[in-house]
Structure 1
């Protein structure tokens, strides 16, 4: 894998962490209603309202747009099949308001989780709900040729089986470290052959779709942030490796170099056992070693120590656990981590509500579902979360 390989040239820069390019000729390129900040705000409110729908007046109130601007935007959304009228609300003294709702099946997005030994592909609608799912064995360490071929085959089969509306793009989640902005992998732990590989560009060429690339834990955290909406949390993923996705004050935190969340490679035992990253005493090495010898209580304790470090550093509200190892023994890990956090809080004399420890929603698909959100999230404005939060407390 050398720099002379056409598939290995540097990927073009991306403007902003969530930009999704729609090239000429792609179905999404002819959807002006999907572009622009104001349209995103309206779409976000429509998605948050769900089947209940939302009136044009409510859209204007929540976005700060004029009623005329809202009417123009919603007219474009309806023309593109993205929104539809959903009846009228009973009058409260004036003219009954026409309610609009999102049409989730109008467009699809692909979420692709490239784990070290398995590929999971999800076809999601605009509401983020899975329409179709495929899984296949994968050898990530085998390198680009095999991984790209498997991804292309599974995505092609997924789209053929589902049929239906245009696909906006593919969100791809895989082990890090990587550069989210440039779509390039760095020296992935245990798979150094991926160093410098422009995976986003290579997959876009093979799939014929715009591609957004991120770490598996970031993708999962982005998807989970939709349902939590408030506060700060860490998603800890224990599977073939150990990593974290961080949501701080409601926003995914990647860091300027996509370096945030390398949770598994914090050193907690000086001169401890070697880790695949090249260090010694990493929490990942200690945790996986305990799992390998069947000592789940110790694995949970080690994971809890790492979680306590995050709580101490970031003052987060929740710790969400996921990954196949956790899913195989959820009570062991949830209970073990919670006990360590409670003990640490007592030692520190911390006041206020205890840090919640809970399983991440989505189970084995949490990363693939989150990967689809890498495509969908830029289409929806933040105002949707405000409306959803208001309705939750009303």
Structure 2
């Protein structure tokens, strides 16, 4: 597997990427405008107008970006008088980032290109309490595998339309269990060790109806895999509290043995790639803030209800972590004095009340409790909107959006409520921990 290293000359990847242009602040401004312009592209004159740079400076920067393979010319716009303007685009396939979501019971890994488009995704069961060594090994395996998945598909041409391979029961890297349950699936293949051209989909012990199919583009040539994509780094997101600057978890609720483990540094050593660590909720909020079309000065709260309850805060367009990554511990606000004990050591926390309602199957009550906490947050921060996410919300998004919206309205607040559209919002946001600095974010 190809590895990357970071040095004084920029980011170098043994698969062939060498991106010294990324060191420049002005280049980051230009790259971000290319990113937000998307396929429509943007002219050099527009870049100069929006960055405040001189046309000469923009020409030098864009020439360097083109030489590095990060930008390309994409035709001309019709003239409105004078010389037609050449349109420039970002080259999304110039490099990639991996995002890893370490949940308490599941690991999700995604590979995204520089435009943030998901290219490959894997999910596998995980016991966060199994110990650091077991978790590190699982991360190594899945990071390598998600890159191999993309290589087999051909990262430059195939985009996965939300498809994912569920690994079902955890299996050894490169081995397929339950061969009697394996079905042929045309162009779908099992990666770990790259399978033969008629590759397979493993359903294993997972019922076919529950397994998510791994559908690939019609033009895939499985017999001629592409090289493994060049990866700039790996972003890791996990439950808090944690210190994103030191790269170490805190006393994770339910798993206090993670406190002080040098997760970032150990994974950097094992993977041979730059690694960034942040809370799951912060990562998801960052990904949403960088989504095309998101207002530059947006202020919102991302509320994540899954194995726990937390929030990520974006204020004035910037992710708000707090000095110690402590901001957004939404689930541990006390809403019922002398209420039931919470895993954090407190009593009557929003999280324990909300999860208890979920465990009873009382979705309306869970939404009402969540909405009560959301109303407190809106009053405190005067945010523009609330976004809900996490597997519990994804199981019944209409009920949660409606219930939280009703609670806000009942409190005299007209704040809009929506649900995150991607089931991999945390992992995709984790990849943005690597990409965002490239675009000056």
The verdict on a shared fold, with TM-score over 0.5 as the criterion, is yes
2:147–2:229: 8 Å Cα contact kept in structure 1? no
267-276 vs 327-336, which moves further: 327-336
Partner SS, residue 148 of structure 1? helix
Following the alignment from structure 2 to structure 1, what is the Cα–Cα distance between the partners of residues 34 and 309?
A: 36
State whether residues 221 and 252 of structure 1, in contact with CA within 8 Å, keep that contact through their aligned partners in structure 2: yes
The CA distance in 2 between the partners of 1:231 and 1:102, in whole Å, is 24
Structure 1 segment 245-284 matched on structure 2, within 5 A? 245-284=312-351
Q: Which has the higher contact order (CA 8 A, sep 6+)?
A: 1
* Alignment deviations for residues 139-195 of structure 1 (CA, whole Å, 9 cap, x no partner): 011120111000000111111222344110011100000001111111111101001
1:231 is displaced (CA, Å) by 2.5
Q: Does 1:226 align with 2:290?
A: yes
1:202 partner SS:
helix
User: Deviation digits for residues 323-358 of structure 1, max 9, x if unmatched?
Assistant: 11111121221111111100101xxxx6xxx20011
User: Given the two structures, how large is their TM-score scaled by the length of structure 2?
Assistant: 0.78
Over the aligned positions, Cα root-mean-square deviation in angstroms equals 1.6
8 Å Cα contact 1:266-1:283 kept in structure 2: yes
Residue in 2 that maps onto 1:193: 257
Q: Give, in whole Å, the separation in 2 of the partners of 1:99 and 1:291.
A: 51
Structure 1: distance between partners of 2:320 and 2:123: 29
Quote the Cα distance in structure 2 between the aligned partners of 1:241 and 1:137. Answer: 17
Secondary structure of 1:22's aligned partner: strand
Which blocks of at least 5 consecutive residues in structure 1 are unaligned? 1-20, 383-394
Partner of 2:247: 183
Task: Please show how residues 142-153 of structure 1 align to structure 2 within 5 Å.
Answer: 142-153=130-141
Distance in 2, Cα, partners of 1:359 & 1:160 = 31
Aligned length: 355
If the length of structure 1 is used for normalisation, what is the TM-score? 0.87
Is the CA contact (8 Å cut-off) linking 1:224 and 1:361 kept in structure 2? no
**Cα drift, residue 47 of structure 1:** 0.7
| Offset of residue 381 of structure 1 | 3.6
| 3-state secondary structure, aligned to 1:243 | strand
| More helix by percentage | 1
1:356 match? 416
Residue 7 (structure 2) aligns with: 23
By how many angstroms is 1:304 displaced?
A: 0.7
In structure 1, the partner of 2:184 is none
**Which segments of structure 1 move beyond 6 Å, counting only runs of 4 or more?**
none
Q: Secondary structure at the match of 1:294?
A: coil
Separation in structure 2 between the aligned mates of residue 74 and residue 24 of structure 1, nearest angstrom: 21
Return the alpha-carbon distance in structure 2 between the equivalents of residues 327 and 357 of structure 1. Answer: 14
Distance 1:329 1:166 in 2: 37
Question: 2:40 aligns to what?
Answer: 52
Quick one: which of 100, 104, 108 aligns to 1:116? 104
1:212 aligns with 2:270: no
Q: Distance in 2 between matches of 1:140 and 1:251?
A: 30
Q: 1:134 to 1:315 in 2, by over 3 A?
A: same
| Counterpart in the other structure of 2:49 | 61
Q: CA deviation at 1:84?
A: 0.6
TM-superposed CA distance for 1:22, in Å, is: 2.3
